[in-house]
Amino acid sequence: MTTLTRDAAPSSAPAKRARRWKPSEVRAGYAFLTPWLLGFFLLTAGPMIASLYLAFTDYNLFTDPQWVGFDNFTQLFQDPRFLQSAKVTAIYVLVGTPVKLVAALAVAMLLNMKHRGQGAYRSIFYAPSLIGASVSIAIVWKAMFIDDGIVDTVGQFFGMQAGGWVGNPDMTMPMMILLAVWQFGAPMVIFLAGLKQVPAELYEAASVDGAGPVRKFLRITLPMLSPVIFFNLLLETIAAFQVFSSAFIISGGSGGPAGSTLFYTLYLYIRGFNDFRMGYASAMAWVLVIVVGVITAIFFKTSKSWVHYSGDAR
């Protein structure tokens, strides 16, 4: 009991020990890693390197790529639509991701309480994530946000005069963010699975010690959940940077109205597959890799101070 509580509380990372690798461990490690290594070298690495190469070429899909050096990259930063797509995506990441994660965690905690009907609620709250990937979502979601649709009606009740959000370039971003938040099912389920990993004894012991719900949340739930929080935070951030399907479906692939839903990867797709400029698209992709890579690295660096693994700290 005591050891676990200590693990759950913030502790410094284990000191790096200079060590010799045990041959049996090395063998086992690579044996267990074989499927991933095969997949990486057979399916993933080649196409990734190819796309990096293509970023320095003029490639129209139909004829051989021509080396152009850094041309694509210099063009990128003079392209107003590229800058627009970067701006749109940044707003989406900064606003949408935190809201979605907080909603997912809050609902997961609600659904983790001991009440009747939780199974039904879990299924209901996950339903949007099922529908969200359907092609029909464009029609459904727009119907919510057109003139006199449910959102407009509720908005008018509160004195909002935005009209239908779909056709209003100022309101499509909130609409897209709401669509993302509405689909909080995936991080919610992961949070739920994480909450189940928290040993109930910890809470019982804390109750004995007279801890209230807030203290339990801060002292037990958050630290024990930190690997899962880290996972959701990182993956949702990356996913938000790469958001494509919903914008593609809702805007019919155009990023409209007036460029207000021109997300980064949507513009990348338009460049690559509609304008046949796959070199340019690849350059865009690698700029994104660098940006998200830096952010990911920062996440991992800072995670050492707030993410605690019960299996690591010894």
Partner 1 sequence: MTENTIAVEHVGAQHLITEPPVRDTGAAATLRRSARRRKGLKGLGFHAFVLALTVVILYPAVWMFLSAFKPSSDIIGEVNPIPTDWTLDNFTKALSGIGGVSFWTFFGNSLILAVLSVIGIVLSATVSAYAFSRIEFPGRNIWFGLMIGTLLLPFHVVIIPQYIIFNNLGMVNTFWPLLLGKFLASEAFFVFLMVQFMRNLPRELDEAARIDGAGHVRIFRSIMLPLMRPPIITASIFAFIWSWNDFLGPLLYLKKPDLYSLPIALRLYVDQTSVSDYGAQMAMAVLALVPVLLFFIVFQRYIVDGVATQGLKG
Partner 2 sequence: MKTRNKLTMALGVTTVFALALSGCSSSDDSGSGGDAAAVSTDEDITISLAWWGNDDRAAKYEQAVDLFEKAHPNITVQTQFQAWDDYWTARNTEAAGKALPDVMQMDLSYLRQYAATGQLGDLSAQEGVNLDVSGLDESLLESGAIDGKQYAIPTSTNTLALFYNADITDALGMEPPADGYTWDEFDQWFLDVAKAGASEDPAVYGGADYAVTFWFFLQWFMQSGEQPFTEDGQLNFTQDDMKEWLNSTADLRDAKAVYPVEKAKQLEPLTGFTTNEAAAEVSWDNFLAGYVADSGTENIEMLPIPAGDDGQQHLFYKPSMLLAPSSSSEHPDAAAALIDFLINDPEVGTIFGTSKGVPAVAAQRDAMDVEAGSIDEKVVAYEDSVADIVTESAPIPVQGFGAIEAEFKRLGEELQYGNITVDEFVEQWWANAEQNIPQS
Question: Per CB under 8 A, which region of 3-11, 17-25, 27-35, 140-148 contacts partner 2?
Answer: 140-148
Is 47 an interacting residue with respect to partner 2 (CB under 8 A)? yes
Q: Which is nearer to partner 2, 53 or 203 (CB)?
A: 53
Identified binder of partner 1 from the candidate list 40, 70, 217, 306, rule CB under 8 A: 40
Is 212 an interacting residue with respect to partner 1 (CB under 8 A)? no
Identified binder of partner 2 from the candidate list 30, 36, 273, 306, rule CB under 8 A: 273
- HSE at residue 303, side-chain half, CA atoms within 13 A, is 19
State residue 67 phi and psi, 5-degree precision. Answer: -65, 125
Is 34 an interacting residue with respect to partner 2 (CB under 8 A)? no
Q: How far is the CB of 112 from partner 2 (least distance, A)?
A: 39
User: SS3 of 58, please?
Assistant: strand
Please, which of residues 65-94 interact with partner 1 by CB under 8 A? none
Pick left, alpha or beta for residue 115 (phi over 0 → left; psi -120 to 50 → alpha; otherwise beta): beta
Provide DSSP, 150-201: HHHHHHHHTT-----STT-TTTHHHHHHHHHHHTTHHHHHHHHHHHHHS-HH
Q: Which is nearer to partner 2, 204 or 275 (CB)?
A: 275
- Cβ burial of 298 (10 Å; 0-12, 13-18, 19+) is exposed
Question: Per CB under 8 A, which region of 75-83, 88-96, 186-194, 209-217 contacts partner 1?
Answer: 186-194
Identified binder of partner 2 from the candidate list 275, 293, 306, 309, rule CB under 8 A: 275
Please, which of residues 255-284 interact with partner 1 by CB under 8 A? 264-265, 268-269, 272-273, 278, 281-282
Neighbours of 166 (CB within 10 A): 22
Within 69-117, residue ranges assigned H as helices are 71-76, 80-91, 97-111
Which residues of this chain interact with partner 2, rule CB under 8 A?
A: 41-42, 45-47, 49-50, 53, 57, 60-67, 142, 145-147, 163-164, 166-169, 252-254, 256-259, 270, 273-276
